[in-house]
Amino acid sequence: MTDTKKSIHGEWSSRFAFILAATGSAVGLGNIWKFPYITGENGGGAFVIVYLLCVLLIGIPIMMAETMLGRRSRQNPINTMVTLADEAGADKNWHYLGWMGVIAGFLILSYYSVIAGWASAYVLKALTGSFFGADAITIKGLFDHFMASPVQLTFWHSLFMLATMLIVVRGVNTGLEKAVRFLMPSLFVLLILMVAYAMTFDEYYDQGIKFLFTPDFSKLTANGVLTAMGHAFFTLSLGMGAIMIYGSYLPKDVSIAKTVYLIAGTDTVVALLAGIAIFPIVFAAGLEPASGPGLIFQTLPIAFGNMTGGWLFGILFFVMLVFAALSSSISLIEPAVAWLVENKDMSRQQACIWSGLITWLLGLGTIFSFNVWSGFKVFDRTIFQLLDYLTANLMLPIGGFCIAVFAGWIMKRQHTEHELDMPDALSYQVWRFLICYVSPTAVFFVFLHVVGVL
């Protein structure tokens, strides 16, 4: 493989562009919507610690591996696995890993787009002053009423899918890169403002912080541990090829390690900030931390409705949330689009239409889980819960496990060493130890734990 090889879809204009795009992919609903509610459902502090450990010991090494795989082959995840397995003299079956990733991308985006649709709808609600002076009960009523309407949910889901596909169709440099350039910094500033507001809640602020950071391991179940690990993959966009495809657009001279630390660090800080902003409001409003997927939609509007400048903050916040979701959703569909273009001879436009349509249709399943099909359960889960469990808790960790095994055990050592180009030999050895032994074993043990063997 030559070092001059480039992806046919283009290349990021700089290291900074990659950082923005990958951070854009990582920071999304996972940080602001999902992290708080799963933390609430799993008892707080102990869950947060397991999640942080997973980011450190599993997420970061796998993120480096995934970026490296993409940059070495410069193709979509399916072809990447074919090419690199070939290069290492390994079995052809590795391309199923790429396939699983593409499918996981569709499944995740199908529900991701529905939730992003909620956030879009809340921009309008904020704009029209729906939260003004509202108490917790009114805000919950507003949310429940919205959930009960498949028509409204479908409208917003469609709008969000359309926006995603319009960005993706424009390709790497024009579409993806421009979109994330100004969104990420603005979101960050707004979150800090929300944290500052949460601090004015005094004793509830303390209660929120205590909930987030004081571990009580008796509250953590085996499934909670799996959810924490799954979320480490989800929030860093790992295990399905999104970071791989972004890595395939990464220029050669960029240090993967340093870049990954920065991205993972930012992602973690954003999630923690979201938690710190939300839990004080949860306690002050007398809400349950375990309120489920509606948590941020039932808490933040209370703050916006009652704080000074809340009207403007509310609008800005939900606008930013939609943009954070957009910069993530484009990475969920990009592997499929790149595959259709590379292997099925489609134009980027055709590829976008097809993949967009399939995802949109799948999304209806999630929409109906919140109303007409809310009683329909498989393994005791609604369609939305099933999709979430299947992707975040199973497919992503399995994908990540395989990526770790591939990078650590299948690829030639000199190739990974060359491609990662670590600042010193020790850093490479640490990475190698983590990717060969720690990350795969950890994933494996968590699975055993859930099955009840351990």
Segments in 200-241 forming alpha helices (H): 203-213, 222-235
What DSSP assignment string belongs to 369-402? HTTTTTT--BTTB-HHHHHHIIIIIIIHHHHHHH
* CB nearer to ligand TRP: pick between 82 and 103: 103
d(CA 213, CA 44): 7
Is residue 240 a contact point for ligand TRP (CB under 6 A)? yes
Is residue 365 a contact point for ligand TRP (CB under 6 A)? no
d(CA 133, CA 137): 12
Minimum Å distance from CB 77 to ligand TRP? 11
Of the candidate spans 22-30, 48-56, 405-413, 441-449, the one that interacts with ligand TRP by CB under 6 A turns out to be 22-30
b (16+ CB within 10 A) / e for 65-95: bbbbbbbbbbbbbbbbbbbbbeeeeeeeebb
Query: CA geometry: angle at 442 spanning 68 and 409, to 5°?
Result: 45
* CB nearer to ligand TRP: pick between 112 and 197: 112
Of the candidate spans 173-181, 186-194, 281-289, 324-332, the one that interacts with ligand TRP by CB under 6 A turns out to be 324-332
Specify burial of residue 49 (Cβ count, 10 A radius: 0-12, 13-18, 19+): middle
Is residue 234 a contact point for ligand TRP (CB under 6 A)? yes
* CB nearer to ligand TRP: pick between 302 and 334: 334
* CB nearer to ligand TRP: pick between 132 and 389: 389
Minimum Å distance from CB 240 to ligand TRP? 4
Is residue 63 a contact point for ligand TRP (CB under 6 A)? no
C-beta nearest to ligand TRP: residue: 30
Residue span 189-228 as binding mask against ligand TRP, x where in contact by CB under 6 A, dash where not: ----------------------------------------
> Can you name the residues that pair with 378 across neighbouring β-strands?
381
* CB nearer to ligand TRP: pick between 79 and 331: 331
Taking CB under 6 A as the criterion, which residues in 373-412 touch ligand TRP? 396
Please choose, from the candidates 71, 58, 363, the residue with its C-alpha nearest in 3D space to the C-alpha of residue 231: 58
C-alpha dist (Å) from residue 246 to 203, 296, 333, 355: 44, 30, 12, 18
Count other C-beta atoms under 10 Å from residue 174's C-beta.
Answer: 12
* CB nearer to ligand TRP: pick between 116 and 302: 116
Is residue 331 a contact point for ligand TRP (CB under 6 A)? yes
Q: Is 227 helix (H, G, I), strand (E, B) or coil?
A: helix
Is residue 111 a contact point for ligand TRP (CB under 6 A)? no
| Residue selected from 227, 237, 259, 355 as contacting ligand TRP according to rule CB under 6 A | 237
- Report how far Cα 454 is from the mean position of its chain's Cα atoms: 28
* CB nearer to ligand TRP: pick between 28 and 305: 28
Is residue 235 a contact point for ligand TRP (CB under 6 A)? yes
Is residue 332 a contact point for ligand TRP (CB under 6 A)? yes
Is residue 29 a contact point for ligand TRP (CB under 6 A)? yes
User: Tokens standing for 417?
Assistant: 């060493």
| Residue selected from 19, 26, 169, 446 as contacting ligand TRP according to rule CB under 6 A | 26
Instruction: List all residues 6 or more positions away from 30 whose beta carbon is below 8 Å from its beta carbon.
Output: 231, 234, 235, 271, 328
* CB nearer to ligand TRP: pick between 28 and 247: 28
Is residue 268 a contact point for ligand TRP (CB under 6 A)? no
How many alpha carbons fall within 13 Å on the CB side of residue 96?
Answer: 6
| Residue selected from 21, 28, 58, 167 as contacting ligand TRP according to rule CB under 6 A | 28
Is residue 248 a contact point for ligand TRP (CB under 6 A)? no
Is residue 321 a contact point for ligand TRP (CB under 6 A)? no
What DSSP assignment string belongs to 71-115? HHH-S-HHHHHHHHHHHTT--GGGHHHHHHHHHHHHHHHHHHHHH
Radius of gyration for the alpha carbons in the chain, expressed in angstroms and rounded: 21
d(CA 370, CA 388): 14
* CB nearer to ligand TRP: pick between 331 and 355: 331
Is residue 108 a contact point for ligand TRP (CB under 6 A)? yes
* CB nearer to ligand TRP: pick between 101 and 365: 101
Residues near ligand TRP (CB under 6 A) are: 25-26, 28-31, 108, 234-235, 237, 240, 242, 328, 331-332, 396
